[in-house]
Amino acid sequence: MLVHLKCSELINEFSDPSLDESPMNRRFFWCVVVSGSSFAGGLVANLAFDVRSEAVAYEAPPLPHPPAAVDRPPTPGSGPERFETVIRRTAPSVVSVDAVKPSTAVAAKGKTTEESGSGVLVHFDGHKGCFAVTNNHVVGGARASEITVTLADGRILQPEKVWTDPESDIALLKLPGDDLPCVEFADSDRVRVGHWVLAFGSPFGLNQTVTHGIISARDRGQISLGATIRIKEFLQTDAAINPGSSGGPLVDMDGLVVGINTAIASNNGNNSGVSFSIPANMVKRVARELLERGAVSRGYIGLQLAPTLEPAAALKLGLGRAWGALVDSVHPDGPAARGGVRSGDVILKIDAVEIRNENHLINLVSSLPAGHKVKLLVWRAKQSQQVEAVITEWQPPRAP
């Protein structure tokens, strides 16, 4: 079952001819779909080479004796044998997740909708039992009694408790039993562009599907995923992922989970070979706070930031490169306003950390505790100056 988060609105928006002249429209010509899925696909090019050379006769020396055969295990990235080993190790921990949730459509108020996705079984240090990790957009809003988890061996379980974090799109399901086949998380900070990965999930309801690809990029965040998802530092992959695979694991060649598959970039909702996974280290940080506090504490500075700092705008402001976070507006009486930040400033550094873009700043501020004082290097009137602000705790907007 396919459930898309505001996909139709995004597609309609980007197909509106009145937006053709927008810099953002020129730069981002596709929309990002968050569903019970991630997606994949690509362009296949066939190249034929006809190489001819003149044959030269010579007398070859005698061949040496072949070395004795050595039975070595396949090395990471060595091909199908390695893939098979990782798949056999990981597949038992991959689950499908189904949830009955309140409908978010205005016309269907009071009705329910069904969502399907995937998940992976893991342990968390210091906490007994086994947990299924999936996406919030798969189970968010559903009661534990309305969620079913189907294991690779066909067993059907219902979670004892559910924790969700809409801002990172992470959800945890506490499952009965301690003997479930769990896998371990990798240190996702060590994942590099070009590393082989396998994506597991249930695309189109086809459980235990596996595809392969590489890590295409790191720290992807300047993509739109709906109003609730603010914390974004995705791993990008070209592994084929499709509707129904949201929440499934992205696994490295050691059989460790490097990410949780969450979203795609697509013109039409189908795979285009650009998919996004939440890094394992973020999953571990969020899970730790959910399990210990029941919620995730995040820092707040009180800024509305531009979606991007275009190169032309950076040059006009006197900057030599398009790095930094452009301030659209400053919330009255917020930490930034009290510190002297103004609309139109470009935040270049927070403490000693150079800011790449607006999403980088959001993630850094969110990771800071309330009461922490920061120094901000801002660009204003074609010169830099330093201001200070005291971080407060983020309060999510209340539902109407």
**Cα three-residue angle 198-201-204, rounded to 5 degrees:** 130
Pair 344, 379: CB distance under 8 Å: no
**DSSP SS3 for 51:** coil
Which of 246, 266, 272, 277 is catalytic? The answer is 246
Rounded to 5 degrees, φ, ψ at 393 are -90, 135
Pair 345, 378: CB distance under 8 Å: yes
Is 137 tagged catalytic? yes
- The pairing of strands 392-393 and 161-165 is unpaired
Which of 137, 165, 202, 266 is catalytic? The answer is 137
Tokens linked to 163: 């924790």
> Distance between CA atoms of 283 and 277, rounded to whole angstroms?
10
Is 246 tagged catalytic? yes
Rounded to 5 degrees, φ, ψ at 36 are -75, 50
Rounded to 5 degrees, φ, ψ at 365 are -65, -40
Which of 35, 96, 98, 169 is catalytic? The answer is 169
Burial of 87 (0-12, 13-18, 19+ CB in 10 A): middle
> Distance between CA atoms of 21 and 103, rounded to whole angstroms?
35
Pair 120, 133: CB distance under 8 Å: yes
**DSSP SS3 for 124:** strand
Residue for token pair 């044959």: 55
> Distance between CA atoms of 130 and 121, rounded to whole angstroms?
7
Q: Residue 317 gets which letter from DSSP?
A: T
> Distance between CA atoms of 296 and 305, rounded to whole angstroms?
22
**DSSP SS3 for 339:** helix
Is 360 tagged catalytic? no
| Residue 357 identity | N
> Distance between CA atoms of 375 and 349, rounded to whole angstroms?
8
Tokens linked to 272: 């285009």
Q: Which of 18, 198, 175 is nearest to 95 (CA)?
A: 175
Which active-site residues does the annotation give? 137, 169, 246
